[in-house]
């Protein structure tokens, strides 16, 4: 197979990035890439939509496998859909909606690819009965191992599929996924807001699996805006235009306005109060009567702007035990204020939180040991962000935070080992057996897989 057939192209950043980027269209071509170490040097890393904020997909001096051209729906059955890994969740949701079907679970980052969502952690406002990760709904995964073997792992091989879900491309390159689907189900949306002290009083009740919970935290206004989702009686699932307007306000208009204000008002004592007022106005829009119902089909296929590497902001996510999150949120407010007073930097966007139900479908699930609530700090400003993320990591470690390998920066290997413990040790042993020559192990994961 020629390099042209594989659409191999040199990287303009080869000095500190991959030496080549290749776009296969078949599993046979993937196997050829993995077995040809001369033309396709290590590390070999699969690439989806580029939504990760860590270096988990980097391949310095190696090879990036861009799966964007493997993006077809192969088969839709009554309860499952089989797809190639490069199709986005939003596109798949649109196709399924035409059949009266939807993906199970309401997941953020809707522009992620299916392969990326199966292999890396995500966020969801989990409703009772649902699990916390998109990967849990993968019932069959076809993968090319690091040594070039084609493997098929089904739901009947529980131990193997538990390893492949959230495996971050370390056990091979996924080339086909079969997912559970269901008829479109509506949910109702209820909004409310409170201050941090009152929210802290909820305590262990936050761990009870009930309504799906999404939070918007404004530490400098002492406001927490809550979005609660419960199963609805209607299958209509709300209006797509309303959900597009909601996403436009939160993920496009607000970041754009924040950046413009930062440019026009360099004095932070003036610009931050104005940005906070706009954030509160956006929350009022979110809580309007037009977004009181929805469905996975409407929300995911109606997304106006996705959280990708090309977004107008950056973010860092940690997960915390749900039963302790009330106290964590209050401590986070104090942390943000202290950091701002000391450094002059603060996030100009609301911090977003999701509750993840307990999920043992993947060995490296962030909510394996119990329900968690994530904190995603977001900012459009880069100057000062790196120092904030370092201090955020210290804060998270003090409050038993669990990192997400694709969304959490500045985590030490010792801390990762302490939080994942035997699960990570077992995963590392399996990884070494499947990839004895470290074909797919990049520098980022090498720090955690020793």
Question: What band does 257 get if pLDDT is binned at 50, 70 and 90?
Answer: confident
Look at residue 8 in the predicted model and tell me its pLDDT. Answer: 56
Question: What band does 260 get if pLDDT is binned at 50, 70 and 90?
Answer: confident
Query: What are the C-alpha distances in Å from 168 to residues 57, 58, 62, 94, 187?
Result: 8, 12, 17, 26, 31
Q: How far is CA 380 from the centre of its chain?
A: 18
Look at residue 13 in the predicted model and tell me its pLDDT. Answer: 39
Instruction: Evaluate if residue 196 carries a pLDDT over 90.
Output: yes
CATH placement of domain 73-184: 3.30.465.10
Q: Are strands 173-183 and 101-103 parallel, antiparallel or unpaired?
A: antiparallel
**Of the CATH numbers 3.30.465.10, 3.30.450.20, 3.40.462.10, 3.40.50.720, which one belongs to the domain with range 186-412?**
3.40.462.10
Backbone phi, psi, residue 80, to 5°: -140, 160
For the entire predicted model, the pTM comes to 0.90
Question: Which tens digit of pLDDT belongs to each residue from 118-134?
Answer: 999 988 877 777 778 99
Q: What is the mean pLDDT of the chain?
A: 87
Look at residue 191 in the predicted model and tell me its pLDDT. Answer: 87
Question: What band does 238 get if pLDDT is binned at 50, 70 and 90?
Answer: low
Question: Would you kindly state where each structural domain of the chain is located, as residue ranges?
Answer: 9-66, 73-184, 186-412
Kindly state the percentage of the chain with pLDDT values over 90: 62
Return the SS3 of 440.
Answer: coil
CA angle 366, 372, 378 (to 5 degrees): 85
* Least confident span in 110-114, 159-163, 337-341, 349-353: 110-114
Question: Which tens digit of pLDDT belongs to each residue from 316-354?
Answer: 999 999 999 999 999 999 999 999 999 999 999 999 999
Cα separation, 304 vs 413, in Å, equals 37
């Amino acid at each position: 197979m020629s390099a042209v057939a594989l659409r191999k192209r040199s990287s303009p950043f080869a000095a500190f990035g991959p030496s080549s980027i290749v776009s296969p269209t078949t599993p046979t071509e993937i196997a050829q890439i993995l077995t040809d170490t001369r033309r396709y040097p290590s590390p070999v890393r699969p690439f989806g939509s580029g939504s990760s904020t860590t270096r988990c997909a980097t391949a310095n001096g190696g090879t990036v496998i861009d799966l964007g051209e493997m993006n077809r729906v192969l088969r839709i059955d009554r309860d499952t859909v089989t797809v190639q890994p490069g199709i986005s969740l939003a596109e798949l949701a649109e196709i399924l909606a035409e059949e009266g079907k939807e993906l199970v679970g309401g997941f953020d980052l809707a522009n992620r690819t299916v392969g990326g969502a199966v292999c890396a952690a995500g966020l969801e406002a989990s409703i009772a009965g649902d699990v916390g990760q998109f990967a849990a709904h993968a019932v069959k995964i076809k993968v090319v191992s690091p040594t070039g073997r084609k493997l098929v792992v089904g739901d009947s091989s529980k131990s193997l599929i538990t390893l492949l879900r959230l495996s971050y491309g370390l056990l091979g390159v996924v080339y086909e996924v079969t997912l559970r689907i269901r008829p479109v189900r509506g949910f109702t949306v209820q909004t409310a807001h409170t201050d941090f002290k009152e929210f802290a009083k909820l305590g262990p009740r936050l761990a009870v699996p009930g309504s799906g919970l999404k939070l918007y935290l404004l530490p400098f206004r002492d406001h927490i805006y809550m979005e609660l989702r419960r199963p609805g009686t209607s299958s209509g699932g709300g209006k797509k235009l309303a959900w597009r307007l909601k996403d436009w306000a939160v993920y496009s208009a607000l970041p754009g306005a924040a950046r413009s204000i930062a440019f026009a008002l360099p004095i932070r004592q003036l610009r931050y109060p104005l940005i906070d007022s706009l954030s509160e106005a956006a929350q009022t829009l979110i809580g309007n009567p037009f977004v009181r119902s929805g469905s996975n089909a409407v929300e995911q296929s109606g997304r106006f702007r996705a959280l990708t590497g090309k977004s107008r902001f950056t973010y860092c996510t940690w997960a915390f035990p749900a039963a302790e999150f009330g106290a964590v949120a209050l401590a986070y407010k104090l942390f943000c204020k202290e950091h701002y007073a000391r450094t002059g930097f603060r996030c100009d966007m609301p911090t977003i939180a999701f509750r993840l139900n307990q999920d043992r479908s993947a060995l490296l699930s962030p909510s394996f040991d119990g329900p968690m609530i994530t904190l995603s700090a977001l900012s459009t400003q880069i100057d000062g962000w790196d120092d904030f993320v370092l201090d955020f990591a210290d804060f998270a470690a003090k409050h038993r935070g669990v990192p997400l390998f694709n969304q959490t920066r500045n985590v030490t290997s010792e801390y990762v080992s302490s939080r994942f413990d035997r699960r990570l040790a077992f995963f590392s042993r399996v990884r070494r057996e499947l990839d004895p020559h470290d074909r797919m192990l990049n520098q980022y994961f090498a720090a955690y897989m020793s």
